[in-house]
Amino acid sequence: MAAIPSQLTSLDFFEIKESIRSYLRTRKEFTDYDFEGSSASYLIDILAYNTYYTAFNANMALNEAFLETATVRDNIVRLAKQLNYTPRSIKAPRACVKLLAQTSVGLSGTSYPEFATLRKGDVFVADNDFDSYTFALTQDIQVPVDSGTGLATFDNVLVYQGNLLTYNYTVDYTKRQDFIIPDEKVDTGLLTVDISPTEQSSETDTYSPATNVTNADGTSRIYYLEETDDMRYRLVFGDGSIGRKLIDGEYITISYVSTDGVEANGARGFNFIGNVVDSDLRVVSPNAISLTTKDAAQDGEDRETSLSVKFRAPRAYATQNRAVTENDFEHIVSEIYPQAASVTAFGGEKLNPPIYGKVYVAIRPKTGTKLNATTKQKIKKDLLKYSIASIEPVIIDPTIFYVLPKSYVYYNGNDTALTGAQLGTKILQGIDAFNKNGATNRFGNRIDGSKFGAMIDNADNAISGNVTQMTLGQNLDKFAFGQVFTQCLDFGNPLYDPSGYSGTPDDDDNGTGGKCKPSFSVVKSGTFYATGYTEDLVNLTLSDGSTSAQVSTPGISTSTTNQVLVPVNIRDDGRGNLILVTVRDETELTLNPSVGSVNYGTGQVCVGPVAIQGTPDGTTRLPIQVLPAGGSISVPPGVDPTIFNPQVNPIDYTINDVSIPTFDPNNFNGYNYGDTSGINIIDYPSDTFEYPVSESCF
């Protein structure tokens, strides 16, 4: 039997074409036939093209049948629907304002109205760069009027960017109906569904989105959401068994906010365009209304991407509305608290010492770094509905790892028109994107130095390479000024151990022990003032004839008034001990040889006993910075890392004759650059590590 083409399912056109030729050569009719120089080559091309298209379509059709390989959003959404997953809609930015309305004396002519109402709907217009955005109020707000001044105060008013719209349906079982929200920019989190017996009826029932069908029966006022093919959302109501079934002729009112999403983030400078009505149904004049912006528009998001749907849908299905595994807790918390930027959960058995029967959930919100006690309690209460009876969830604040990279970047100045400063700015923009893209899944993960270095190399074609060292920072914050304390910080990564490297002979060994003092430290603190360490003051005559105080003698403890506190730092001595030091005339003086310890193998740094009298910024926070042993950072449970204050130094190697630096343990700076200045890996940190703290009403 003659052979048949063997590559008809190949996705390479030339392989298919050659397969057809090979097949034809097996036929005696085409023996010694010149396929290249004859018109038959055109027929072979047509057959190859047809086979290629058929194979491609078959491959794509099969790929689209599976969630992992699907690429078309409509197909991804359909497959996610089988897992009971609804993609997240676009999210409206929210803002917080305070509004004061001056009402007039009531109809009686002797007293002010009893209350005032801020009507729902489009109430504000705000600017962001060159665009204006409308902000809506989803519900009426009613406040009492001050009987003495007639002033109505609407404080902490949350408004959402977009237009508040309504759409109606009348239930008609004589035809097949789809209750579709006619707007692809709807924020489903602000959706309100009301159902009345008839269009004219004033009686309404408000339906809620279905979250757990195990608690639903035939009378439950619930609805389900599905994304349709055109990225709009469809409402699905109950069938009488799971959720109430609608009755023919009922009137559905859908209220929703149509928003621009992330584009409106940052909008501020609000102007009032709504209505305030007093209890006598009189409209308060816009001239009698003053407005204060408390929080600019923020938290707006684009709709969930196809990649996110493919990642989250299987995990939502695995959770099955119960919290058993750590992943279950993480997913459920992200659903019940959408304001979480990242969530991690871990069992108490992972703690030292272990605590059994508890699951710790660390949450970093999208605004700020910590949740208030009320929010934590609410999340815990909601989470208890899903957790098994013997497990207690505990909501905690994450431990923040501040990753401080310092990079020396080598580039060819002949390959770019950018200056070193401009190239540095471009690299910093790439670092910002790297930090932002990985922020949501960095809990319990790692920051790979190789990926970070590759990201810098890819920032510009002129870059030939870089040397990057990452250090870690945390704050000591469990102390009060003037009180002796001990606090341990766990950095969760092995630290570089300098004890095995030789340096200068150690004085206290008297030259007999063969020991040498390590020449560099891997743990350093910020500057502070230690209780009990003061210095004398002497008068110094200035050029204008006035006198001032000058420090002359360090390290003297005294109670006289002619004394000031000594600025000091803590560092390790390279042997696992923390020492208290100060600097005079460019010489380091040791004030106390034992103020704590460091475990290089585990990364635990314990400071104390010591008493801190004050800090330069006046806060009870002292930065501690360490040098990890490896080029990558491991992220322990409950730790949220952020890349903080990166330093980038571009070097044009066509101008500066420099060699690639090598690690030199005998050099205090860590790296040996020959004639160039080395990377000062662990300078004394000058600022405390913290996010900006704002008094938000969210």
CA distance 237 to 227: 15
User: Given pLDDT bands bounded at 50, 70 and 90, which one contains residue 513?
Assistant: very low
The pLDDT of 22-50, averaged and rounded, is: 74
Per-residue pLDDT at 408 exceeds 90: no
pLDDT in tens, 338-391: 778 778 888 888 777 788 888 888 888 876 667 888 888 889 988 888 888 778
Mean residue pLDDT across the chain: 79
Mean predicted confidence (pLDDT) in 47-69: 82
The last residue of a domain, from among 349, 365, 397: 397
Query: Does 378 lie in the same domain as 326?
Result: yes
Do 179 and 154 lie in one domain? The reply is: no
Above 50 in pLDDT, residue 393? yes
Question: Over 60: is that where the pLDDT of 493 sits?
Answer: yes
Residues 52 and 101 grouped into a single domain: no
Q: Choose between 319 and 266: higher pLDDT.
A: 266
Same domain (yes/no): 29, 169: no
- 429 lies in some domain: yes
| Pick from 29-38, 214-223, 565-574: least confident | 29-38
Any domain includes 200: yes
Averaged pLDDT for residues 493-511? 61
Asked whether residue 560 is domain-assigned, the answer is no
Residue 40 inside a domain? The answer is: yes
What percentage of the chain reaches a pLDDT higher than 90?
19
Higher local confidence (pLDDT), 455 or 40: 455
Winning range, highest mean pLDDT, from 237-246, 579-588, 651-660: 237-246
What's the pLDDT band for 620 if we cut at 50, 70, 90?
Answer: confident
If residue 606 lies in a helix (H) or strand (E), which one and from where to where?
strand 604-614
CA-wise closest residue to 504 among 588, 604, 630, 594: 588
Please state the rounded mean pLDDT for residues 473-492. 88
Amino acid 327 reads N
Nearest to 492 by CA among 443, 449, 440, 435: 443
pLDDT given for residue 338 in this prediction: 77
Q: Are 141 and 277 members of one domain?
A: yes
Distance between CA 392 and CA 83 in Å, rounded? 28
How many domains are contained in the chain? 6
At which of 361, 381, 397 does a domain end?
A: 397
Write the DSSP symbol of residue 325: S
pLDDT tier, 165 (very low <50, low <70, confident <90, very high otherwise): very high
Residue 83 lies in a domain: no
Q: Is the pLDDT of residue 166 over 50?
A: yes
Out of 397, 423, 452, a domain closes at 397
* 523 and 601 housed in the same domain: yes
CATH number for position 356: 3.30.300.200
C-alpha to C-alpha distances, 645 to 364, 435, 609, nearest whole angstrom: 19, 11, 30
Contacts of 165 (CB under 8 A, 6+ apart): 183, 255, 256, 257, 258
Asked if residue 194 and residue 285 are part of one domain, the reply reads no
Looking at the predicted structure, is the pLDDT value of residue 447 above 70? Answer: yes
pLDDT tens for each residue of 521-536: 888 888 899 888 876 5
Contact between 691 and 621 (Cβ < 8 Å): no
Q: Strands 222-227 and 205-209: what pairing?
A: parallel
Q: Are 173 and 220 in contact (CB under 8 A)?
A: no
483 and 406 in a common domain: no
Same domain, 127 and 203: no
Q: How confident is the model at residue 539 (pLDDT cuts 50, 70, 90)?
A: very low
Q: What is the mean pLDDT of residues 233-241?
A: 91
pLDDT reported for residue 654: 67
pLDDT of residue 277: 92
With respect to residue 553, please indicate whether it lies within any of the assigned structural domains: no
Q: Is-cis flag, bond preceding 609, omega within 30?
A: yes
The contacts of residue 189 (CB under 8 Å, 6+ apart) are 89, 91, 92, 338
Query: Per-residue pLDDT for 587 more than 70?
Result: yes
Print the domain residue range for 469.
400-473+645-672
Asked if 486 and 571 sit in the same domain, the reply is yes
Q: 89 in a domain, yes or no?
A: no
> Residue range 242-270: average pLDDT?
91
Position 575 confidence tier, pLDDT thresholds 50, 70, 90: confident
- Residue-by-residue DSSP string for 461-488: TTEEEEEEEEEEEEEE-S--TTSEEEEE
Backbone angles phi, psi at 291, to 5 degrees: -135, 140
* Whether residue 43 sits in one domain with residue 151: no
Widest CA span of the chain, in angstroms? 116
Q: Are residues 516 and 580 in the same domain?
A: yes
pLDDT band at 657 (very low <50, low <70, confident <90, very high): low
Does residue 330 have a pLDDT over 50? yes
Q: What is the mean pLDDT of residues 103-119?
A: 84
pLDDT at 257 over 90: yes
Q: Is the predicted pLDDT of residue 236 greater than 50, yes or no?
A: yes
Three-state DSSP class for residue 522: coil
- What is the DSSP pairing of strand 115-118 with strand 141-144? antiparallel
> Please, which pLDDT band fits residue 551 given cuts at 50, 70 and 90?
very low
Q: Let me know if residue 117 belongs to a domain.
A: yes
